[in-house]
Amino acid sequence: MQSWLRRKPLDMVTVHEEGRRLVPTLSWPHLVALGIGAIVGTGIYTLIGVGADKAGPAVLLSFVAAGLVCACAALAYAEMATMMPAAGSAYTYSYAALGETIAWVVGWSLILEYSLVVSTVAVGWSGYFVGFLQWVQQQTGWNVTLPAALAAGPHAGGIINLPAVLITFVVAGALISGTRESATINAVLVVFKLIALGIFVAVALPAFNADNLHPFMPYGFSKTVDAQGVERGVMAAAAIIFFAFYGFDAISTAAEETKNPGRDLSIGIVGSMIGCTLIYVLVALAAVGALSFTVFGKSAEPLALIMRELGHGTAALVIGIVAIIALPTVLLAFFYGQSRIFFVMSRDGLLPRGLSKVNARGTPVTITLFTAVLVAALAGVARLDEIAALANAGTLAAFTAVAVCLLVLRKREPGRERKFRTPMAWLVGPLAIVGCLYLFWSLPTRTQVWFSVWNLLGWAILIGYSRKKSMLAQSGVMDGFNAYLGGAKGLLATWWVWGVLPAAAANVVLSCLGMMGARTLWIVVCVLWIGHLIAWVPAMWNAARAYHGNAAWANLGRLAAVLAAISIPVLLLLLITMGARH
């Protein structure tokens, strides 16, 4: 069992072999710009329309709710990043605090997050670019618009979203050019982004009409499903708008490349989070006050549309142009973060070691190009709201893990130096955990299902490849729960990995799929449980053998194995009964 929960010692987190080290080149201005560049992007430029469509004017509360959860997570990130200044973000923290299995799940979720974020932003950028081309044609008569088949994915009547594909490869090329160079370009573009939002607020606020805020909460607070099967409500919108707030975690992936991580990381993470929350609430207030949410809720470029509806065509043009120029900063920031997650997981042996090779500039070129192909394929055909929702699921998992790491290390390593200490950690940590779990529950049911499927795939890779190839396994480092707790409590560790984690995942899937009431989906859930029990039987039996010297624990292990074995045919019978009943 210790191989499943072995931990990377904290003192080894910042020790790396020659040829696989990242070079420190970034200072706090780069990190702040990286954070603002990542946070302020598609979320406020495009998802404000999606959120308003789900919550109405109460989208303001959605921004506050999502921002509160992210603020708690940001404080946890700041402490973890300064305590473990290494690339990898939540994956690295989980490896040291919670063990290899949990770290794999978190890393796998981060791969989902970063890949889908880039796809979402690419689709959002495409909406502004297509709108700009249409404006040019109206003003000049030039036929510069793209054919409908190349301007949107199949969901919108097209074939492929070509602008989204092209911008993905442009940003990938910029990243390959070098880290510091990319960070400098990002800082310049962030200034333009903030100027554009300032113009929007200056023009929209004078047109504020309180009537546009009524009814304020037309779809209620909690997530509900309307007659068309669409999730609505303040928290349903918050679960999507949550996408607009994260980005500070991209800063934590740059820890290894930061010159003074003890000071600069906390400034970058907390500073960018506070600044962006204020910006978002102000922009959202101006938007819903200036125009009814029913007008801009379905738009791919809501801010520019509001300007045009108010008769400020020039301001709309400026916002559209700046969005075209500056939104790629989000692509750059998350592309950067994704490559570092891949890099660290490869360096740890959980992914093929060849992926952690870098060129002379310190850039992992191979994995960057691979990611570009994957993301471009997704951005070319997928819907903005569906991509954002699935990306949010991965992020919520990572944020929850970081909050748990904060609490675990406060208990396990109380005397270890912390350059930044989260205030009221035993309040902030649980708030972050509960808030993330609630937002996850508020996500669309289909998103929860696909996230579970994604993690089932991850478990298969972990069992079939990563656990055996891990550098800790190769070096014989076994610092898992079994070794840490020792003795009879190792059986509890066995129960945790083979029982609690799969059972919790299966219960999430069960609750999500059960609401849909489809017979085939119930069958999938039962099959998952059967697979879980099949894994449980040998795990418990082996645990019993490991404690042959302690009759009580050995008998307990045998009893658990027998009960699991009996449960399999019972569950099969239940499966047949449900199939007949439905």
pLDDT in tens, 230-244: 778 888 888 777 767
For residues 391 and 540, membership in a common domain is answered with no
387, HSE (Cβ side, Cα atoms, 13 Å): 27
Q: Give the pLDDT of residue 571.
A: 57
First to last CA, the chain: 40
Phi, psi of 4 (to 5 degrees): -80, -30
Q: How is residue 370 written in tokens?
A: 């691979």
CA distances from 3 to 124, 261, 466, 470, 472 (A): 43, 31, 11, 10, 9
CATH number, domain of 149, equals 1.20.1740.10
Q: What is the rounded average pLDDT for all residues in the chain?
A: 74
For residues 85 and 176, membership in a common domain is answered with yes
Q: Is residue 225 a part of any domain in this protein?
A: yes
Query: 132 vs 401, which has greater pLDDT?
Result: 401
Residue 487 CB neighbour total at 10 angstroms: 10
Total number of domains constituting the chain:
2
497, pLDDT greater than 50: no
Q: Give the pLDDT of residue 406.
A: 92
Confidence of residue 477 (pLDDT cuts 50, 70, 90): very low
283 lies in which domain range? 10-14+28-454
Q: Is residue 21 a part of any domain in this protein?
A: no
Greatest mean pLDDT among 19-28, 114-123, 200-209, 383-392 lies in 200-209
Q: How far apart are CA 396 and CA 394, in angstroms?
A: 6
| pTM assigned to the model | 0.68
Q: Give the pLDDT of residue 141.
A: 80
Which of 397, 430, 454 is the endpoint of a domain?
454
Q: Give the pLDDT of residue 493.
A: 44
Mean pLDDT confidence for 86-94: 86
Query: 558 vs 33, which has greater pLDDT?
Result: 33
Mean pLDDT confidence for 531-560: 55
Tell me if 66 sits within 8 A of 436, measured CB to CB. no
**Residues with Cβ within 8 Å of residue 386, at least 6 apart in sequence:** 444, 446, 447
Which of 402, 433, 454 is the endpoint of a domain?
454
Identify which of 35, 48, 103, 43 has the alpha carbon closest to the alpha carbon of residue 74. Answer: 35
Q: Is residue 463 a part of any domain in this protein?
A: no
Instruction: Kindly report which listed range (271-275, 473-477, 540-544) carries the lowest average pLDDT score.
Output: 540-544
For residues 436 and 545, membership in a common domain is answered with no
Tell me if 240 sits within 8 A of 55, measured CB to CB. no
Instruction: Kindly report which listed range (32-41, 375-384, 433-442, 496-505) carries the lowest average pLDDT score.
Output: 496-505
For residues 357 and 209, membership in a common domain is answered with yes
Q: Is 184 exposed, middle or buried (0-12, 13-18, 19+ CB in 10 A)?
A: middle
Q: How is residue 401 written in tokens?
A: 């893990």
Tell me if 68 sits within 8 A of 375, measured CB to CB. no
**How many DSSP H helices and E strands does the chain contain?**
27, 2
For residues 62 and 106, membership in a common domain is answered with yes
Which of 401, 428, 454 is the endpoint of a domain?
454
Tell me if 280 sits within 8 A of 67, measured CB to CB. yes
Q: Which long-range contacts link 198-202 to residues 24+ away (Cβ below 8 Å)? A: 199/315, 199/318, 199/319, 200/283, 200/286, 200/287, 200/303, 200/306, 200/307, 200/315, 200/319, 201/282, 201/283, 201/286
For residues 429 and 537, membership in a common domain is answered with no
